[in-house]
Structure 1
């Protein structure tokens, strides 16, 4: 009966030691798990930092590559500009070489004793001036410019003492005399007549001689004049200021068309414009003593020859070229 009582206390410490071992093992497992989680988190943080550093390095490398590409493009553009500059300089050098060759050729021709140097130079200048005068006549009908060109050519031709050019001197004198005989430029004359024709048109209707006589008429005549108005038929419809302003505007428009015809030496266009101007003047100046004066100016303007005949124009230049070629 005593043996079971002594064995029971011995089994209790053994059971407790096994429970403590299991608890210690569980604690060790928990500690190992916590240490593993902490280590894994630190490893992830290190990996993230390493990736961030790698990304920064890649960004820096890409930025450097972009900078190198931009520098390469800039170098290529500068090389292209340098090539273009070299081409321009090459062309300029070629042009300078050609001009130098032309100058050398001209000097050699002037030094040729067969050309008589100074005389040939004077004849070249005379030909240039005659050509300028002829072109001004043909292109613009500039009589004054042609006269100045011939006046500059005359002393140069007079300085040529070779008797072979005596006929040319006489031809030049005849051509100058023919140009001087033409007088002023027809366009200048026509512009002056046109300005006088359309100048100072009054805005108010002119007082007629009938109205002036009515003031001196007896009282019964003045009473009847208030009932019956007598006015020129041509001025009908232009008694109000607005109507006269419109007519004056139309007159200025026709004057502008006439000036354009004068500038391009269009005789037909000038005639048509003057006819229309004369019609407006008859309406605006009906009953005025100025109408007769304006009609005389209109007749003078229609009689102006915008393109006068010049039979001797260019004769000196043609003779000079023919003689030099011969």
Structure 2
């Protein structure tokens, strides 16, 4: 039996010529498909980008339109606020005018009511006006000018006018006027005039009896050196020195007269504090002119009496009649308006 001939190991398989000619076509088809896919993808991306840009442009357009609408709404809102403010101002003016008209109407109604009141007497009203004016004049002349005579005349004229009023409602008022008039008549002289007269009398006393420089004579039992040098020097207390030289005494006397003049000016304006201070300074100048003696004590006492004098008129009931008259007139004016 014959063995088949062995196949050599180095022999390679043979490729079919048909299969070898087919693979380039597959490569070309793949490349064409890849190119087609790339072209389609590029066109799809371009279309998507265009669509996105169109959406962005549309959104921007809508945002611009919305901003314009918001601006228009804000303008309309401002216009509405201005109209509301103008309307509020107009309403406020109208309300004030209505209130003013109401007040004027109330005043007119009150005036008509007063004129229509049968109990109101025109002559009596004029007399009460005159009484009030005279009382005001009298009080001012007494408090401001210190004219006691003028005040008494004003109160006397007011009493005469009030006597002509026959209304029984004013009987108590006339009694109050009589009491106040009696208190004013009891004042007597003006205390300011009395104080000025006392100052003038004190100044005349100084001019009639001026201070004389006279040192005390040394006693007989004084030491020899004190009797020998008595005309050369004099020892005085430190807290109180009496002027001895003529020039010093003339200056002290002039200062005393000046303080008295200041006291007169303070009395004229009824300044009690300045009046007392000026007399206190004058008292100090007295001690500069006179040594301790009975004459100095008398002049001190005179200045103290002048300083204790009052300068203002004091009437506790001053103005009570005027106040009562005004209350009665106010009550008479209120009563007609309260009637139905």
* Normalised TM-score (structure 1): 0.54
Root-mean-square deviation (CA), in Å?
3.6
Q: Does 1:139 align with 2:166?
A: no
- 1:145 CA drift (Å): 2.9
Between Structure 1 and Structure 2, which shows a larger proportion of helix residues? Answer: 1
Q: Which segments of 5 or more consecutive residues in structure 2 lack a partner in the other structure? A: 1-113, 332-340
Name the structure 1 match of 2:154: 149
Q: Cα deviation per residue 1:79-134 (whole Å; 9 max; x = unaligned)?
A: xxxxxxxxxxxxxxxxxxxxxxxxxxxxxx99x97543443333222111101012
Distance 1:117 1:316, change over 3 A: same
Q: Cα deviation per residue 1:236-271 (whole Å; 9 max; x = unaligned)?
A: 452333222211221122122212221222221111
Name the structure 2 match of 1:193: 198
Equivalent residues of 1:206, 1:288 under 8 A apart: no
Of 299, 307, 312 in structure 2, the residue corresponding to residue 302 of structure 1 is 307
Distance 1:117 1:295, change over 3 A: same
Alignment: residue pair count: 212
Name the structure 1 match of 2:323: 318
Equivalent residues of 1:235, 1:285 under 8 A apart: no
- 1:274 CA drift (Å): 0.9
Name the structure 1 match of 2:276: 271
Q: Does 1:158 align with 2:160?
A: no
SS at match of 1:201: helix
- 1:198 CA drift (Å): 2.7
- 1:139 CA drift (Å): 2.6
Task: Give, in whole Å, the separation in 2 of the partners of 1:288 and 1:151.
Answer: 52
Equivalent residues of 1:285, 1:291 under 8 A apart: yes
Name the structure 2 match of 1:262: 267
Distance 1:296 1:116, change over 3 A: same
Name the structure 2 match of 1:228: 230
Of 248, 251, 255 in structure 2, the residue corresponding to residue 243 of structure 1 is 248
SS at match of 2:206: coil
Task: Give, in whole Å, the separation in 2 of the partners of 1:295 and 1:204.
Answer: 15
Bigger Cα Rg? 2
Distance 1:204 1:153, change over 3 A: closer
SS at match of 2:212: coil
Of 279, 288, 296 in structure 2, the residue corresponding to residue 283 of structure 1 is 288
SS at match of 1:313: coil
Name the structure 1 match of 2:180: 175
Equivalent residues of 2:192, 2:270 under 8 A apart: yes
Q: Which segments of 5 or more consecutive residues in structure 1 lack a partner in the other structure? A: 1-108
* Normalised TM-score (structure 2): 0.52
Q: Cα deviation per residue 1:39-72 (whole Å; 9 max; x = unaligned)?
A: xxxxxxxxxxxxxxxxxxxxxxxxxxxxxxxxxx
Distance 1:252 1:166, change over 3 A: same
Name the structure 2 match of 1:127: 132
Task: Give, in whole Å, the separation in 2 of the partners of 1:180 and 1:225.
Answer: 65
